[in-house]
Every structure is written in C-alpha cells, then in structure tokens.
Chains A and B, each alone.
Chain A
C-alpha cells in the first residue's frame, strides 16, 4: 500500500530538487556586522532570484586568515564587506578577480582599488569612535576625553576597552591611524601609554561599545555603527570623536579568482556597488562609496566626514604583518609588558 505513495513522494522530491538546482548557491565571506546580514541578503536575493547567498561571517582578522589559509583551494566565491586593507593583501597574493561593476562610474575615486579594472570596490566607510558611558563616568568621577592623547591620562587606568588589531579590523584601523597621525616612534610610545589604561583587549570591533553601553567599562574604543545603534536603544552613551582625527577603513567587495560561480559572483559585485545597495548602507553608515546619497545620522556631528584622517591604505596593507607582530610582542602577553621601553 505504501509503495505507490513512496514512488509519488520520490518523484515530487525529484522535481523540487530540480527547481532548487536552478538556484546558484554563492559562498560569501564577510566581516559585516551580524545584524546587517539578513537585510543585505534579502535585498540581493530579491534583485537576483536565481542566486542564494550562504554567509560565512567572522571578525576581519579571522576571515582574512581563513581566506589566506585557503589560498590553494578557495572555498569562498566572493567577499562582501571586508576591510580594504585585507582585500589589498589578498590582491597581492593574486587571489582576487578584477572586475568593473556596472555602476563603477558612480563610485568615488578614493573608495575603490586604483587599478583598472579594480580588484575591489568600496561600499562604505567605518571610522573610529569612542563610546563614553555618562552614568558610569559620573559615578566614578571621570572627565570626558576629547582627544586620543586624553586617553592616556592616569584617571582612566583599567577603564578602557579596545579591540585586538590582530583579530579585529577596527583595532587595526586604530593602530594604523595612530602610527600615521603621530609618526612611528611617537605612535608606539602613545600605545605604550594607552596600554597602561587598557582594562581588556577584546576580539570584536563592536564589543567595546557594547561593554561601555552596559557600563562594564566606561570607555570603549569602537566604531560608529554600534555606537549609534546602542544610543538609539537607550544606552547612556556619549559619542566622542577625538580631536586629532578619526582612523577609518573602507568596507569593500571583491570576486575571488577561480570561483566556479563567476557569473553569480559578478552579479553580487554589481549589486554591492549599485545605488540600490547604497540605499541599504545609508541606514548604517554616514560615509558611502557613492557620493551624494548619504544622509547625516542625527547622533553624529554634521562634519563627520571632515574628521577622517588622511589614510594611506597602501602603506597600511604593506606593513600590516610587521605592525601586528610588533603589537603582539608589546601588548599581547603581559610578560612582555615589562620589556616595554
């Protein structure tokens, strides 16, 4: 009695399998914030119904290490939302497929790879921000910092949290910015002084702001997206943009060379650079790769874009390994702290 039923079920599943087989599954590596993944995926799949995105998400440093480790046998088809300095490293290793997306003309000149066709194209910019918990500051009698140098004041000892630059893109953009703003020698001296005040190094770029919002540590060095989100949720945060200028990084998209799904990956690159996508990014970031679309976020000052420092990405990506090695030697392991000059 069950035989014909089973046969019918098998035929049905075979047909539905065929229907699904028409959809291309694209493995996309990303360092985007997890809250953004669903919206971006839905928008892309609505515009391209024959492609389905499978996200692999982790912090910038970890995703970069993963991509480099898989160099001989890449598992990723495309990268949507990774720091440009990391993508530049991948490009140096010959892992990226150069491709000019349809809307490349609309992208600002310094928000894309200089080569033609570009290896990566930017989406938006994220920049350093200090999250300052006003309730805790009042309780502990802390003054509000206005500059990076302020953070080395002895009153903040053990009260600052910062991302580890080896694992977090935010951490790396901070270190790169300090080295570029203060010069190499002064930069390392600044980080030595700051290290005395750091309570913890965490692995994610948004965690310092979340810790500051929860009052666990009053000061978190993070970036503007979690700061704005948490403030909107009612956290007692003050968003501080230090005087010397903000380090920043471009979030960008690239196609991996040798992917079996090249057509679908190129569709992703097209979508990521398109105006429709910019409308999505606009909700989360104040500076976009396409000029003229961004709307000012109420929580951030109007001159936000002017506060970004002049950033040499080529220098940053070329020296990334040395900078991280030096950072680890100095601060990642308290036993070495004694040796700090």
Chain B
C-alpha cells in the first residue's frame, strides 16, 4: 500500500516560477515578433517597393513593362552594361590574386611585422570609396604628381579599375585570410613524409581547401564594384557605368521607375553569387575536423623574402594613395601654390554641408553602432539560444540573410520608393536621421549577425540549462552572463557598424535631406562642385575618425580580453 503523498507546494514558489516564465515568454516571443516586424519594414518592404515601382507605369517616371523592354533593348543600356561588366571583371581578376598572395603571406609564412601589414591593409575600409578616386586624380590626373607614368589620362576605364581595386582589396583579403587560417598540420606532415614538393602540397591541400573562398571573394568584389558609383563619379570622366546611371536617373532626373529598373538589374549579380556560394558551401562540407592540429609554417628564407617583397609593394601602394589624399587636402591651391594650409578644412562657406555633415555622420555612426549592435546581438541570441518558435526562427533567419544579397545602392533605392509612397504612414520618416540609421543597420546586418552567431555558438547550451534550473529569467542570464562572455565579438560588431556607417554613401545618397546630410555625401557634393581640395579634406576627416575609433575599440577590447577572458586560454601542452 503506497499512499500517494503529495507535498504541499508553497504558494509563493508557484507564483515566482510563473512570473519568471511570463518574463521569459515576453522576452523571447515578444522580442522575436518585434524583430520580425523591424526586419520586414527595414528589409522586405523596400525590396518589394522596388519591384512595384519598376513595373508600375507612372507617367514620366520611366517605369512599367514597356519601359522595361525599351530599356533592356536600348543600345545605350547595352553599352552601360558592357562597361560595368568589363570594369567589374577586371577588378575582380586583379584583386583576388593580389589578396590571395597577401593572405598567404600573413597566414602561411614567417614574415616579420604581420600586425603592421594587417593594419595597413585595412586602410581602404576606413574611407568612402571616393577617396581612392580623389587620390588617383591628384596622382595621375593631368596635373598629377606621377602623370608621366601614364600614357593616356586617368579619367575613364583605368581610373575606375584602379580606384575599385584599392577600395575592394580589404574585403577580398578578409575572406581569404579566414580561409587560409584553417590549416591542418597533419596533412602537411603527411605530404612532406610522402616526398611531395611545396607546390604539390599547395595544389593538393591548400588550393582545394581555399577554392570556395576564392570564388566567394571573386563574387564579392564583382558585386561591390558593379554597384559602386563613388569611384566612377570622381574619376570616371565620360566612361559611364550602370550604378552611375541609377544615381543620375533618381537624383538628377527624378525618374524613379527607370532607377528601379536599373536597381533590379544590379540585384542580379549579387543574388546569383549568393545562390552559387550557398550551393558550393553545402557541397564543400566541413573544413576542419575536431582533431586537426594547428599548422606552423616551416622557416624558409627565400619564400619569406619573396612574400615580404610582395607585401611591401602592396602596402607601399596603399600608403601612397592615402598619403596623397591627406597631403592634397593640405595644399593651398594645387598645382600652382603648394604651400600647406588648413584652408580646405574651413567648410564654412563651401557647398555640400561642411561641419554639419561631419557632425551628422558621427552622430549617425554612433547611433548605428550602439543601437545596431544591441538589436543584432539580441536577435542572434534569441535565434540561437532559445527553443521553440521554429517557424518564427526560420523567417527571421531568412530575412537576416537578405541584406547580404542586396547592394547598398539597391537598398537605398528601395527605401526611397517605400518611404516616399503617398499612403505610407511611415512617410514622415523620410529624410530623417532615424531612417538613415535604420537603413545603415539593415545594410550591414548580415555580417554583424554572422559574427554574433559564431560567438554565441561557441557557448555551450549548458549555460541556459543552468539558468533555467536556477529559475533565473532568461533576459537576466543574457545580460549578466552571455553579453560579458561575448564582449570581444560585441565590440567587433560595434567597430564594424561604426566604420561602415561613417563611410557609407550608396544608400545614404538617396535618403538625406539638407538637415541630415552626411560626410560621405558632402564629399560627393564638393567634388561635383569642383572643390576637390575640400572633398579630400572631408575624406581625410572620415578616415581619421574611423581609424581612431577602430584603434580605440581594439585597445579597449584587448584590455577587456586580458582581464575577463583569461579562461579562454588553452591549457599549456595542448
């Protein structure tokens, strides 16, 4: 006879549990629904607006099916498309091998001073894409310092190619660096014990492992180049490309339909490369097994000497270009009065926005970095670390991958069309700082989210289980445990968003109003008005601000790492 004994549960305990549960549900479900709404408004609706605008035949807007057919069959369009393709393919063909050599030198050789070369290679990321163009004009333009080295003038195809090569170099480099960092020493040991030469080892081991990354880098550079108009505007001369045409159609002639059609055409390379990349990734499978040993390159004077030479040449070229831009901002009247002065930094009476633009940019960058990192990290946490709501999770995940496939130019166009619609209640946001912040966060969402997800995946699920068993609310566990552990990744995201917001121009060019003009837009306006010295000055300001904040955050994160992340160090002997 076993009497069922039920212990009376204290009433207070029941209430506490359900309060924590309610809190959790609110946090998780409410958070996900909120994020879904935000993502739909910020990513999905603008894209739909582009398709709608492109195919609606509004008079004078240049849209509609008839206009689409006309556009796609016109000789002018074919010429523009041909130009864009030629430029993008050339840039990708030049940048990817260079970046591969640079990455190989940093990861697989023993050259000295790797931190310096790594830092220098990131320079083009810190300034808008117009800066290499401006520097090229001062270097190789008709009054350029090194004019003699060129047969024809810089304006045109080669100017655009050189400018884009400089601009896209760090992007390709980052992909290849992370690919080349995954090396299993056991494979190389096996190769050398079987008598394979270094080039054979490269062909059999390194190349197959990095093939997919090379393709990804190629696609990324191609997409970045075909949708950039910062460089063509400055140094393109009369060589016109599609991205410039979209800008002229919308800003210059207010023909939104035509702009939308060109935007849709520019979406194609990004979507294609995204799809092929995803397919290849699935085929490729895991790159590093858990039992892999870290690869240490064998010392070789000759190899190190060659690679050091290559790295030095590339870094020297980068320093030349950026040094020229800074120098030219200080020259009083190029080329007839080379005395140094700060005249170009006195933005007071010049066209384009001046100090207001710079202040706006800093404000926007701070808002984007802080709000964006908070939202993105919390979103990543909710998607990774909570159970249930499978459908919601899937929708969120898919939506957060969309911005990766949408170039900034197209996203900006989408925002113009969506937030400019007559019946749209959100129309009041058009031209405000809020919209600029939202657009920038949406634009750079995917990379930030992938960083957050990677960091969160390193944490065991035991943490959440422990919190649950201790009846601690999830949000408190998130704030008190998860965020401090993942602080390095969080700071990384903050830095990435800040620098991207300071230098972005392709989306912002359509969304600013005279009150909310941004520094990168001011650079474009000043160059358009002929004030190239002022444009160089503003670009230099952007460069130094981004670099300064990056260094500050890197220093802060190193201090934090040392103090709070000591547990991450692997035990000696591993």
Enumerate chain A interface residues (CB-CB to B < 8 A). 33-35, 38, 54-57, 61-62, 65-66, 68-69, 73, 135, 158, 166-167, 199-204, 206-211, 214-217, 226, 233-236, 333-336
Q: Would B529 and A236 count as touching, CB distance under 8 A?
A: no
Please give the number of chain B residues whose Cβ is less than 8 angstroms from any Cβ of chain A in the complex. Answer: 36
Is the pair A215, B350 in contact by a Cβ cutoff of 8 Å? no
| Contact between chains at B79 and A214 (CB < 8 Å) | no
* 19 CB < 8 A contacts A-B: A33-B351, A54-B514, A55-B514, A57-B514, A61-B252, A65-B253, A166-B252, A201-B238, A204-B529, A207-B529, A207-B530, A208-B530, A210-B531, A215-B143, A215-B336, A216-B142, A233-B333, A234-B336, A236-B336
Residues of B within 8 A of A166 (CB): 252-253
B349 on the interface (CB 8 Å rule)? yes
Query: How near does chain A come to B85, taking the closest CB pair, in angstroms?
Result: 14
> Is the CB–CB distance between B351 and A57 below 8 Å?
yes
Complex Cα distance, B514 from A64, in Å, reads 17
Q: Is the CB of A200 within 8 A of B336?
A: no
CB-based nearest A residue for B531: A210
Residue on A nearest B254 in the bound complex, by CB: A69
Are the C-beta atoms of A68 and B143 separated by less than 8 Å? Answer: no
Chain A proximity of B441: nearest CB distance (Å): 27
List A contacts of B253 (CB < 8 A): 65, 166
Contacting pair A334 B350 (CB below 8 A):
no
- Residue pair B143, A34 in contact (C-beta under 8 Å): no
Select B514's contact among A56, A73, A236, beta carbons within 8 Å: A56
B350 touches A335 (CB 8 A): no
Q: A203-B252, A214-B143, A335-B78 are in contact. List 20 more A-B contacts (CB 8 A).
A: A34-B350, A34-B352, A34-B529, A35-B349, A35-B350, A38-B348, A38-B349, A57-B351, A65-B253, A135-B336, A202-B530, A204-B528, A209-B530, A210-B530, A214-B532, A215-B143, A216-B142, A216-B143, A333-B240, A335-B79
B240 nearest in chain A by CB position = A333
Separation of A63 and B384 alpha carbons in the complex (Å): 49
Residues of chain B within 8 A (CB-CB) of A335 are: 75-76, 78-79
Chain B 522-550: CB-based contact to A (< 8 A → 1; otherwise 0) = 00000011111000000000000000000
Report chain B residues within 8 Å CB of A38: 348-349
B333 contacts across to A, CB distance below 8 A = 214, 233-235
B238 lies within 8 A of A234 (CB): no
Q: Which residue of A lies closest to B526 (CB)?
A: A34
Residue B334 at the chain A interface, CB threshold 8 Å: yes
Are A207 and B143 interface neighbours, CB within 8 A? Answer: no
User: CA of A173 to CA of B138 in the docked complex: distance in angstroms?
Assistant: 31
Tell me, yes or no, whether B459 is within 8 Å of chain A by CB: no
Q: Are B530 and A235 in contact (CB under 8 A)?
A: no
**Contact present for A215 and B529 (CB under 8 Å):** no
Check B251 for interface membership: any CB of A closer than 8 A.
yes
**B529 closest partner in A (C-beta):** A204
Q: Is the CB of A200 within 8 A of B76?
A: no
Q: In the complex, are the beta carbons of A62 and B143 less than 8 A apart?
A: no
B170 at the A/B interface (Cβ < 8 Å)?
A: no
Q: Which of A34, A69, A167, A202 has the most CB of B within 10 A?
A: A34
Q: Which A residues are CB-close (under 8 A) to B422? A: 73
Determine if A204 and B530 form an interchain contact, defined as CB atoms under 8 angstroms apart: yes
Cβ-closest chain A residue relative to B256: A69
Per the bound structure, the CA–CA distance linking A216 and B147 in Å amounts to 11
> Judging by beta carbons under 8 Å apart, are A207 and B254 in contact?
no
- When the two chains form their complex, are residues B251 and A62 in contact, meaning their CB atoms are under 8 A apart? yes
B142 adjacent to A207 (CB under 8 Å): no
Question: Is A200 a contact partner of B252 (Cβ separation < 8 A)?
Answer: no
- Bound together, the chains give a CA A225 to CA B337 distance in angstroms of 22
The answer, yes or no, to whether B155 is at the interface (CB within 8 Å) is yes
Complex alpha-carbon distance, A204 and B252, angstroms: 12
Alpha-carbon distance between A21 and B513 when the two chains are bound, in angstroms = 22
- The residues of B that contact A55 with a CB separation of less than 8 Å are 514
A215 contacts B335, CB within 8 Å? Answer: yes
B245 to nearest A CB, angstroms? 9
Q: Which of B137, B155, B252 contacts A62 (CB 8 A)?
A: B252
Q: Assess the B155–A68 pair: CB atoms within 8 A.
A: no
Q: Within 8 Å CB of A207, what residues of B? A: 528-530
A234 to B333, CA, bound (A): 9
B348 to A, closest residue via Cβ: A38
CB contacts under 8 Å to A, within B341-386, are 348-352
Q: How far, in whole Å, are A62 and B75 apart by their CA atoms in the complex?
A: 25
Name B239's closest neighbour in chain A (CB-CB): A334
Q: A62-B251, A235-B333 known; A336 and B530 CB under 8 Å? A: no
Cα(A201)–Cα(B514), bound, Å: 26
Nearest B residue to A167 via CB reads B252
Q: Which residues of A contact B252 (CB under 8 A)?
A: 61-62, 65, 166-167, 203
Judge if B141 is at the interface, Cβ distance under 8 Å: yes
A199-B141 Cα distance, complex, nearest whole Å: 12
Q: Which residues of B contact A208 (CB under 8 A)?
A: 530
Q: Which of A61, A200, A206, A214 contacts B334 (CB 8 A)?
A: A214
Contact B79 A333 (CB under 8 A): yes
Q: With an 8 A cutoff between CB atoms, is B237 at the interface? A: yes
Cross-chain contact of B79 among A35, A204, A226, A334 (Cβ < 8 A): A334
